[in-house]
A and B are shown apart, each in its own frame.
Chain A
């Protein structure tokens, strides 16, 4: 039996290269939002819901949200001042109209420059992207809330929000 080592090696190389190229394409695509890389922000913002990527809202939104944590969509999410200052800085630095512009630009379409929207799920582009999702799916037991991105976007925690 003559094992075609060279063919196998060539095949594996092609598969490997394709995987690398696809990964890069995905990471640069419209549906990639870098996940929160700051541990304090990930811990504090990720304890009740997914820690949403900072590039999903403009800096003015994050500033306003961080100043109103006592009533965070009806919940008390307040943190001490020093913690709030550190988290605000991270979110603002990586927001859709600052450090995260390259990723958040498209999602900001239709958002006025001086606006500070608070709900990602009310951004015009978000609504447009999700208009094909039937009402029944939002009510599904495993979804429960529009803030539960990973229920459908299984790779959301790694930054990928492509259609599933």
Chain B
């Protein structure tokens, strides 16, 4: 019995744990943190609260049909969204889509595109870090 439990524990530690621990790789966050500090020496830490505000605010700086992140991703980051062409988008919350942020190049690609669509400019490193902090907290 104990052996079985140990075996399960071992297997979890080996295979399942990384899948359960979701979110962007540390190197990506460290890169954003360093860049944020370079822009503002007073920068301390990323904030999920600021990230949520960024996510929900109607910026209206980009395209008219995408005033906010929520226009496509929806009000609930743990639920699916929908593109302007009707294609479903997997949830943004790391808990609901554990693999989403694993590829740093992909994360950068989408920040570039979508910040332009919504804000009409690229996001700052601090905004990116805050946004990821919010999604990781969800």
Contacts and interface: CB of A to CB of B under 8 A. Distances in A.
Contacts of B112: 76
A127 interface: no
A49 B85 contact: yes
B113 interface: yes
B87 A50 contact: yes
A147 interface: yes
Nearest to B109: A79
A75 B87 contact: no
Chain A interface, DSSP helix/strand/loop, else mixed: loop
Contacts of A142: 86
Interface residues of A, number: 17
Interface size class for chain B? Answer: 10 to 19
A48 interface: yes
B113 A49 contact: no
A77 B86 CA distance: 17
A76 B87 contact: no
B113 A145 contact: no
B83 to A, nearest CB: 5
Interface in A100-152: 142-145, 147-148, 151
A148 B87 CA distance: 7
A68 B86 CA distance: 23
A143 B86 contact: yes
Interface string A143-163: 111011001000000000000
B84 A145 contact: yes
B116 interface: yes
Contacts of B87: 46, 48-50, 148
Interface of A: 46, 48-50, 74-79, 142-145, 147-148, 151
Given A77-B113, A144-B86, A145-B84, 13 more contacts: A48-B85, A49-B83, A49-B87, A50-B87, A75-B63, A75-B117, A76-B116, A76-B117, A142-B86, A147-B86, A148-B85, A148-B86, A151-B86
Interface of B: 63, 83-87, 109, 112-113, 116-117
